[in-house]
Copies of this chain bind each other. A is one copy, B any other.
Amino acid sequence: MSSSSIGQRYVFTSFGESHGRCIGAVVDGCPAGLELEEKDIQKMLDLRKPGQSIITTQRKEEDKVEILSGVFRGYTTGAPIAMVIWNQDQRSHDYENLTLRPRPGHSDYPAYVKYKGWNDYRGGGRFSGRLTATFVMAGAIAKKLLTQTIGVDTYSYTCQVGKVKMNAQAAPKTKNSIYDNEVRCPDPKMAEKMRSVILAARRSGDSVGGIVESITTNLPVGLGEPIFGSLESDLSKALFSIPAVKGVEFGSGFYGSTLHGSQNNDEFVTKNGRIVTKTNNAGGILGGLSTGMPLILRIAFKPASSIAKKQHTVDVKTKKPVSLIVQGRHDPCVVPRAPPVVDSLVSVVLADHALRAGFIPSVIR
């Protein structure tokens, strides 16, 4: 399988480069009969779009999606759905001096070695965060499919920036307030503090990391497969494809490893005739399968590698030390733009599993 593709039944292929003609996505396996128009996808792309506030990159991209195939008279046909966004505001000259002087924290160096210099290095090329817009194209469709067929819904939000963190998970009722602030944190007070941390980093020519939390409600019981098809396996594979992600955990995660079984086990109870667990340290997954409880995961983003401070590197040809100030327009913190990307990849993986397990049929109407 191509390393630009993911999924078995809902198969998503990403193409394009940061400063090439366009970026695009092909989704194959979306059931026929789903009402779909460009604005369904555009809405979600707009939440990720750069240049929306002072705490994100100032690159201006409308990120206007065009559907090229797979939709006929407003409904999906069962054929592959190809989509593109034409790039607009590239400033490739910012990158000319980077070819031979790899930026610390970036893919430049291993990519140069791997491709012997043939890769399109402009703006990070294939390794750019810009490619996450293709994840959103595929994810917006998956999210709509899941909601409309089996009522599954995913929402993700910034839960930590630097050392500032929310105290608790966001309840479903707060999901509509996530996009009320630039930080994408449903707790407005914490959002304000996080914003200050990002602005402080920006002012000092630096960047800062953070954590996104993602919650999915209304999953059927038994989604996922044993061993290598576990939900955790497939979700983490997708999520680690987001540039800057360096950690993924489910439920009590790393904290849970400090506990005793008697503290971490979730006891089963019956509630309104349904079998549920009292607590949800498992994050909604046992044995790789969904338990019917909310799916909870957290994703650690490193601080963005592109900073305005002077850094040291080496010239890959001469191997001599050189210093470097990264030009270009960059996010001082990538986390505020990540929630729609996380929603998207979670939806892509869950749609794939829901189709594989027959929870969603190949023609939905």
Binds B, one of A168-176, A188-196, A355-363: A355-363
Binds B, one of A37-45, A179-187, A202-210: A202-210
A206 and B262 CA atoms in complex are apart in Å by 6
CB distance from A210 to the nearest CB of B (A): 6
Contacts of A306 in B (CB 8 A): 261
Please tell me if A347 contacts chain B, counting CB pairs below 8 Å: no
CB distance from A185 to the nearest CB of B (A): 14
A111 and B227 CA atoms in complex are apart in Å by 13
Q: Is the CB of A252 within 8 A of B302?
A: yes
Chain A positions 337 through 365: 1 when the CB is less than 8 Å from some CB of chain B, otherwise 0: 00000000000000000001110011101
Please tell me if A21 contacts chain B, counting CB pairs below 8 Å: yes
A54 and B300 CA atoms in complex are apart in Å by 37
A287 and B306 CA atoms in complex are apart in Å by 13
Copies in the complex: 4
Contacts of A152 in B (CB 8 A): none
Q: Is the CB of A125 within 8 A of B233?
A: no
Q: Is the CB of B303 within 8 A of A80?
A: no
Of B24, B248, B260, the residue contacting A207 (CB under 8 A) is B260
CB distance from A62 to the nearest CB of B (A): 18
Q: Is the CB of A300 within 8 A of B24?
A: no
**Contact flag A206-B16 (CB < 8 Å), given A119-B78, A236-B248, A247-B254:** no
**Contact flag A206-B78 (CB < 8 Å), given A17-B69, A357-B362:** no
Q: Considering the complex, give the chain B residue whose CB is closest to the CB of A101.
A: B268
Q: Is the CB of A226 within 8 A of B257?
A: no
Q: Is the CB of A104 within 8 A of B277?
A: yes
Please tell me if A328 contacts chain B, counting CB pairs below 8 Å: no
A304 and B247 CA atoms in complex are apart in Å by 22
Q: Considering the complex, give the chain B residue whose CB is closest to the CB of A70.
A: B15
CB distance from A154 to the nearest CB of B (A): 19
A-side residues, CB < 8 A to B, are 1-6, 8-9, 11, 13-17, 20-24, 26, 28-29, 32-33, 68-70, 72, 75-82, 84, 102, 104-111, 113-116, 118-120, 122, 124-127, 131, 160, 162-163, 201, 206-211, 221-222, 224-230, 232-234, 236-238, 240-241, 243, 245-254, 256-270, 273, 275, 277, 281-283, 286-292, 300-307, 309, 311-314, 316, 319-321, 356-358, 361-363, 365
CB distance from A295 to the nearest CB of B (A): 12
A16 and B28 CA atoms in complex are apart in Å by 11
CB distance from A225 to the nearest CB of B (A): 3
**Contact flag A24-B247 (CB < 8 Å), given A228-B6, A309-B262:** no
Q: Is the CB of B69 within 8 A of A268?
A: no
Of B110, B238, B265, B302, the residue contacting A305 (CB under 8 A) is B265
Contacts of A300 in B (CB 8 A): 249, 253-254, 256-257
Q: Is the CB of A261 within 8 A of B307?
A: yes
Q: Considering the complex, give the chain B residue whose CB is closest to the CB of A250.
A: B246
Q: Is the CB of B68 within 8 A of A24?
A: yes
Contacts of A28 in B (CB 8 A): 2-5, 13, 15
Q: Is the CB of B118 within 8 A of A76?
A: yes
**Contact flag A221-B113 (CB < 8 Å), given A24-B68, A107-B288, A286-B106:** yes
Q: Is the CB of B107 within 8 A of A286?
A: yes
A-B contact pairs, 24 of them (CB 8 A): A2-B80, A5-B228, A14-B80, A14-B228, A15-B80, A16-B82, A17-B72, A21-B69, A22-B68, A22-B82, A24-B69, A26-B26, A79-B226, A104-B265, A104-B268, A105-B265, A110-B292, A115-B363, A127-B226, A233-B236, A246-B257, A247-B248, A256-B302, A257-B302
